A = this chain, B = another copy of it.
Amino acid sequence: MDSKRLAREAAKTLQTYVTFQAVKLILEQLSETNPSQAIWLRQYVLDNPIRDDGEFLEGLIRDRKDLVFRVLTVRAEIADTVLEFLPELVCSNITEANVKLRRSMLERLTQTSNIPSDSDGALPHPELDVPPERDSQE
């Protein structure tokens, strides 16, 4: 596992997501303070979905520099307040979801199948990184 590459890609995705959250928040604020700007920005985001934060902001610079400044400010605030808690939150959520899914799968296996005695019918081995070579379902 190339941890550095994974971290770099995850960071880029998270940065784009934080920018998306900032734009969403600004849209909510504008809906109350300046509905016509909100309508404009909503349409702009529909026409230019935020797939890459850099490209999105570069595009927006041409049309509305004031909104770009605002996005930069808000996304920095979100990053400061929210990111700190994410690793612990995501790790515990994943652990919890994994336990639930494993339990659910084991329950289904024990309830629905008469475990066959041939070698192909053994329970999967979650602890193995490379699973048994079974192509029976292709």
Q: Does A80 contact B (CB under 8 A)?
A: yes
Count the copies.
2
- Is A115 interfacial (CB 8 A cutoff)? no
Chain B residues, Cβ within 8 Å of A101: 57, 61, 68, 72
Q: Number of A interface residues at 8 Å Cβ cutoff, please give it.
A: 78
Contact mask A11-36 → B, CB, 8 Å, 1/0? 11111011001000100010001101
Contacts from A to B (Cβ < 8 Å) = 1, 3, 6-15, 17-18, 21, 25, 29, 33-34, 36-37, 39-40, 53-54, 57, 61, 63-70, 72-87, 89-91, 93-95, 97-98, 101-102, 104-105, 108-109, 124-127, 129-135, 137-138
Interchain Cβ contacts under 8 Å between A and B, 30 examples = A3-B82, A6-B21, A8-B89, A10-B14, A10-B82, A10-B83, A11-B86, A14-B14, A14-B90, A18-B90, A33-B130, A36-B135, A37-B135, A40-B137, A54-B97, A65-B109, A66-B132, A68-B105, A72-B98, A72-B101, A72-B102, A73-B129, A76-B94, A76-B95, A79-B91, A83-B86, A83-B90, A83-B91, A86-B87, A87-B87
